[in-house]
Structure 1
Amino acid sequence: MDDTSHSKVRLTSAEIANLWSQYVNDSMSICILKYYLKNVQDKDIKSILEFALELSERHLEKIKEFLDEDKYPIPKGFTNEDVNPDAPPLFSDIFMLIYMHIMTIHGLTGYAGAVSTSIRKDQISYFIQCNTEAMELYKRILEVLVDKGIASRPPNINAPEKVDFVKKQSFLTGWFGDRRPLNAIEASGIFFNMKKNVGKIVLEIAFSQVAQSQELREYFQRGQKLCDKHYEIFGDLLSESNLPSPPKYDSEVSSSTVSPFSDKLMLYQIVTLISTASGYYGAAFSLSQRRDLATKYAILIAEIVKYAEDGVNILIDHGWMEQPPTFDDRRELASKK
């Protein structure tokens, strides 16, 4: 008998976690997209933003249906209170497109994880649909990036004359003496993480000049310095192998000091991006075969985890961190008898 039909079984904890996380993130996206749409000038980029907003709004309605059916509370997430659409432009059209590129990559990663952790048929179908829509969004974004000549292409690599196999243990070394050039897998991980750091740097520059709280302004400035440091470390590794770095977009921030977003939204955005970065660093770490790369990644991961933790503590101190779905504390329940 099929026990995966939504009419027969409750949502699992993993499925609730997927829906809860998507609701919070999409509610934040709606705030950001509404602001972008008030300021964007380029018609091609505007079309991207409109499509993304349509998807996010549709997701929220569907998630409400799922959670209501299961009698699970709808998260608060982010609302119109967290955005000022009439604030002056803070970002250029180019950065809006770069931002959408990065966030769509995050969405694709999240939807793939949601499919793999879902059991109910309706949940699997829903997240497959989300993934399909995100792939279409990604395709449109990349086409515009390429058409406008701002797509950041990873380095090219020359084809070998024949298939070869590693013959020396020195393939793994990297601390002392001559280091072998990066392989394509290692360079790909470095380049990808640099592109994501570029996006975080721009956000941290912008948020540090519009945040209401001095504490947050200092936190964002600290994050900018940390991401710049990581960008330089990664860039040096590419340079050793005579490979280019992706461009930076620091100049795509205006001089506005009027915040389009609440401090809560800006802090949540940065903490989420930094926390996700630790996962992407970890993936690159696991595929790096030069020992010096593994050591560098371990150090960099520790730095960003500490920075993210400090951001979470600020969210908690201000009462801004919505508690994720949490299991009952059985010991606490027992103590109340």
Structure 2
Amino acid sequence: MGQAATKSGVVIWGAPETTALLSASGPGSAASSGVSPPAASLSSASANASPLAGSAPAATPLGGESSSFSASPALAVFAETSEEMASPRLVDALKNINSERVSAGGMQMAVVAHSGELYMWGANSEGQLGTGDRRDASVPRLVKALHGKVVKAVACSQEHTVCCLDDGSAYAWGCALNGRLGLHGLSIPSSAGLGVFSPATGARPEPLASACAVCTPRVLESLCGYFIADVACGPYHSAFLGIYEQDRTSLFTCGLGLNGRLGHGDEEDRHLPTAVHALENVNITAIACGAHHTACVTSAGTLYTWGGAAFGKLGLGSTRGSQLLPKHVSGPLRNKVSARGSSLSFFS
């Protein structure tokens, strides 16, 4: 799947079986990388197209299983079709909405309007659309549970979604397996299985027990003492960037701990957002999660990565094993934008 943000809009293209471009009954699969390519020529969609633009003034993570970026002003484009889409098409349901943020997960998408309203569509087997039910949606649906609130950032993954509001609160919904929602008491054991979609066979697992499906946004009360400025999530874990004491930051992670993707020095699951103590003395400006790893950028332009090192995606010189604690990535990466996928990382 490809994505690009321009001055006049956000566009997506690709085969429906590898994106959230599906009808309510159409097939879907987890995006293998989610990496945003350079902006293509979109003269047919806009006469004012421009290169990809990030949202944060310093550095903004893009791509990965939960790619998220900004465009202002912007219109999200999406085609309600089960066939391949080779060129951008406008989403009729959002043509009058001035969208500011877009997030693409494995099988769902989200758009944050300028007004702060949140719209979502795609697969909904675990309530990841936040609409109060588990029905798939082929067109954008307003997340009514957040009516009257102003969403500032959103991140979608395979079966869950997280967001933060202008008041600094954080919300999560969807599959609570392994504690990825950070809602203690709403998860089920790892032994129940990860429920992974198989692109090779096209087979989807049966929906997990309803006890782990949270169909409406739930506030993360454990983070109420912090102003949550940004969120990110991989298929099985989530990250929250908190601000306290004016400009000090703290990174919280929760969910599956395999490969050390949570950054706590072990591989234990966390069912509540837990501070990454190895980063307590740095000022974090941007965060991102891949399928098996996590990354952050500091105000000094320093990049830290941790988690599974397969394919060299951590940029630490190794293609094997795991990095259980955040580690500085050396090289000319000061003030750069980072993008991650399932098995790779990009810096530009």
| The two structures share one fold, judged by TM-score above 0.5 | no
Greater RCO (Cα-Cα under 8 Å, separation 6 or more): 1
State the structure with more CA Rg: 1
- TM-score, normalized by length of structure 1? 0.26
Return the structure number with greater strand share: 2
- TM-score, normalized by length of structure 2? 0.26
